[in-house]
């Protein structure tokens, strides 16, 4: 097994990034949205839930409460009824109601474009803030680390960390900032298409020659 320094050398990282770009040139956020507020709400709902499920729920939610002010004025039972199928709906309803209140009262109804301000919104941690900044505002402040990014970054030996915060720090050192946003979208697309959690499709994977994951189902080297 190659050592950490070899696995994270610039040439290998560049090869991984180039392969991802060629394989998923049009990868983008899978959560349906038409505004910064909508992507914020959708991302809060996506915790422990699939994007497909969130996309089924959000049209009715956005129609009922189209603005932060409307969400803030909604009752918890009203919100809960609309988001029930996303799981953890009581906590998510409190977060959405609180997010609506903070955005409408503290930020004059507009989702802020800076990490410190976003982190003041209920239900928002670095992952959600990075999604909003990267997807809507095209600001690369960090790298979104969801379950796909964490799993695949470890499989590709880009990090040996196990927490999202530490994985993000490692990735930010390795990946050029100009590619942070696209890197996330491409890794997530790769996780859904090929690098599946339980049975990765290694024989079909263009990154296989660069991968030394112990759970590989196929190896050409």
Euclidean distance between CA atoms 95 and 99, whole angstroms: 6
Task: Please choose, from the candidates 58, 55, 44, the residue with its C-alpha nearest in 3D space to the C-alpha of residue 122.
Answer: 44
Euclidean distance between CA atoms 213 and 196, whole angstroms: 13
Tokens describing residue 112: 């802020």
- Judge whether 69 counts as a catalytic residue: no
Task: Please choose, from the candidates 179, 158, 181, 182, the residue with its C-alpha nearest in 3D space to the C-alpha of residue 169.
Answer: 158
Task: Please choose, from the candidates 144, 150, 122, the residue with its C-alpha nearest in 3D space to the C-alpha of residue 131.
Answer: 144
Strands, E assignment, the chain:
none
Catalytic residue selected from 51, 141, 146, 170: 146
- Judge whether 170 counts as a catalytic residue: no
Contacts of 35 (CB under 8 A, 6+ apart): 136
Catalytic residue selected from 127, 141, 170, 182: 127
Q: Could you list the active site residues? A: 127, 146
């Amino acid at each position: 097994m190659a050592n950490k320094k070899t696995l994270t050398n610039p040439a290998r990282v560049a090869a991984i990034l180039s392969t991802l770009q060629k394989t998923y040139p049009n990868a983008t956020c899978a959560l349906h949205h038409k505004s910064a507020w909508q992507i914020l709400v959708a991302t809060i709902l996506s915790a422990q839930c699939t994007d497909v499920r969130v996309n089924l729920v959000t049209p009715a939610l956005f129609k009922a409460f189209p603005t932060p002010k409307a969400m803030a004025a909604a009752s918890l039972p009203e919100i809960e009824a609309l988001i029930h199928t996303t799981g953890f709906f009581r906590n998510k309803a409190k977060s959405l109601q609180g997010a609506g209140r903070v955005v409408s009262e503290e930020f004059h109804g507009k989702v802020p474009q800076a990490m410190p301000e976003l982190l003041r919104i209920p239900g928002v941690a670095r992952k959600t803030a990075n999604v909003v900044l990267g997807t809507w505002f095209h600001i690369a402040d960090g790298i979104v680390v969801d379950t796909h990014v964490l799993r695949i970054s470890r499989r590709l030996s880009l990090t040996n960390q196990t927490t999202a915060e530490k994985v993000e720090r490692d990735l930010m050192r390795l990946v050029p900032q100009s590619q942070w946003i696209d890197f996330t979208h491409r890794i997530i697309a790769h996780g859904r298409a090929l690098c599946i959690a339980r049975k990765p499709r290694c024989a079909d994977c263009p990154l296989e020659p660069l991968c030394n994951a112990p759970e590989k189902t196929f190896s050409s080297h």
